[in-house]
Structure 1
Amino acid sequence: MSDTLVSEMSFEQAMAELEAVVGQLDNGQVALDESIKLYERGAKLKEHCDAKLKEAEEKVAAIKLGEGGVPIGTTPVEGL
């Protein structure tokens, strides 16, 4: 488990750590207290990944397409 703040992680970093957390929990070889810490960290990582995905979806949705589907600009999206 990394000491990096979840809020400072890229999507890829958070997803990689989330996969590692899930692997450790699935293994069943972690003590109860550590399992709880891992679960809490995993929940934060999942929330962070969800937020990053939503942000990316909003950016993609804001792309304006011209004739032939060629991107011609973006539409401002509130909150970005």
Structure 2
Amino acid sequence: MDEANTPGANPAIEEMSFEEALSALEEIVTKLERGDVPLDQSIQLYERGEQLRAACQKRLDSAQARIEKIVAGSDGSPGGTTPLDGGA
């Protein structure tokens, strides 16, 4: 039986670490890129992939906000840092 169809093979995204979610997303992308997955399963994989992508983005945004809060000076201005996205 295929791993994606095995009950319990897809743990709740909320319970996954960022690294686990990213790894699961990479596995889904690999399966979809191979192109040998039936259409219905491809759709399910795509939906799960989108959920994983959104969860990873949310965690990255949260981490960035926490870092900005940590490095902000008492007046709220950055304490000699540059934005995480490399912006000037």
TM range (shorter): 0.7 to 0.9
Number of residue pairs the alignment of both structures matches? 67
In the alignment, structure 1 segments of 5+ residues that lack a partner are 70-80
Distance apart, 1:63 and its partner CA: 1.1
Alignment partner of 1:12 out of 4, 7, 19: 19
Distance 1:34 1:6 in 2: 19
What's 2:84 paired with?
none
Distance 1:53 1:17 in 2: 16
What's 1:77 paired with?
none
Distance 2:54 2:10 in 1: 17
TM-score between the two structures when normalised by the length of structure 1: 0.77
What's 2:60 paired with?
53
Distance apart, 1:65 and its partner CA: 6.3
For residue 48 of structure 1, what is the amino acid of its counterpart? A
Task: Please state which structure has a larger fraction of its residues in strand.
Answer: 1
- 1:1-80 equivalences under 5 Å are 1=4, 2-64=9-71
TM-score between the two structures when normalised by the length of structure 2: 0.70
What is the aligned-residue RMSD (CA, Å)? 1.5
Distance apart, 1:64 and its partner CA: 3.5
**Deviation >6 Å, runs of 4+:** none
In the alignment, structure 2 segments of 5+ residues that lack a partner are 74-78, 80-88
**What secondary structure does 1:63 align onto?**
helix
